[in-house]
Structure 1
């Protein structure tokens, strides 16, 4: 017991995360040993989790400041539509796909941030309203036609392309969070916005920056999404919000493990856990509604357990 107590906070966090990964895998492996959890399957689960991981890493900057974004799905769809059209109709190839999607995502983030700051109403309300607008724009641009990415432009839908893009985004996020003024201010604003203002931090400006950065990462997620699925359908009537769930759950892991000093690493493994649970229910043949209910409950339990700190405990 003494040895465990002497472990660093990061080491404790990694132990908990790895244990959760193993536990999630073991439960479904016991329930359905023949069609779940083989090494090849686990690799596929991990690759699928990378898509949401990229978006969740960027979203962490927004959530850590106590803000929320209901336009995630609409942003991903709009960014994918723009990137696909630049890559195909305008024959810009990978340049159009990547630059178009990321720039669109960042622009959406800029609009979200500026309107949130100017209107002075909760970010959830602002982004929920804007999601309808982004959906309409994407639907107009798509013209009711499914946007399909040709096979020659799907390098980011499988290894090593998806791994490379995910690693690049992680390095950028890690560098920004740990080695820049913006990263320091992100923690300061998230810890206590009032104190941050008294320190002379322009809180509104850095909130806008957080939305822009988050939007750019959702643009990168859009590249992975359309590359993996090969096509994108423009959504209407707030149906894009279904895409909000998985990146948000990954962010919850990041916030839960922030006390251990490994928020971004927790997002990566957290999204992997989410996918293990998701594919586990698929292997069991469970109805979608039951999958959603049980997955939500399981993740709530996981987050509750990992955020519970004993009285007087200090994680170093």
Structure 2
């Protein structure tokens, strides 16, 4: 099939727009739903519409820079760990999705570990996290991390006082070991208010697309808000070290939090553009006896849409 230049350009443009619309699909995460399942959202004001346009433009610009970071990490064989912590519904997952959205999953991957099993509970506390650390040319984002011990385990009583204190003795040395081995460690705490978490939990309860995010542990954490506050304050105070400092993201506004986090992340990595040779699409080899056999009808997925 031969296409003229205008048609080729038009199809490439359509493909690019399809790619950019992935972000619009993710926007469902930001919508709120009422008890009847209907979306409860006031019509956008002119100011809100303008900010939404700005948000998409800025997000795409920042994601372009993240691709440059990815190229630099691979080319210079860097190792980067980014820790995301915060209360339930603080927006960690949404930020992680925007960071990884256009990156190569072989280079940038997410580690979101479940609760430890019986065997893991008998191991050195950091052992199950070590296997997820990056090799040269890799970025690993921890959606929650070894800091579970300073947060949920402390508040819910899943660790003893001795284990809690040993964590604070060990974690600075653990992170300094990572730094000495050439791993850059960045730690972000996503901060929301009591009122904002309350609203986000209500949204999850009434939104069938979000209900899976709520666990009994999440609901119990809501009741223990003040204990989590104290645990967070102790954690930040005792583990804020020069080799791996904490950075607090004001996250009540999800979109601004994502932009601020990614922008800050870019400032913490001394990346440089990597030169790539020009890409030339080769001509396909063609043979006169080539025949493309038809697919049997019973194998085809019905075209409902």
**Superposition TM-score, scaled by structure 2 size:** 0.30
TM-score w.r.t. length of structure 1: 0.29
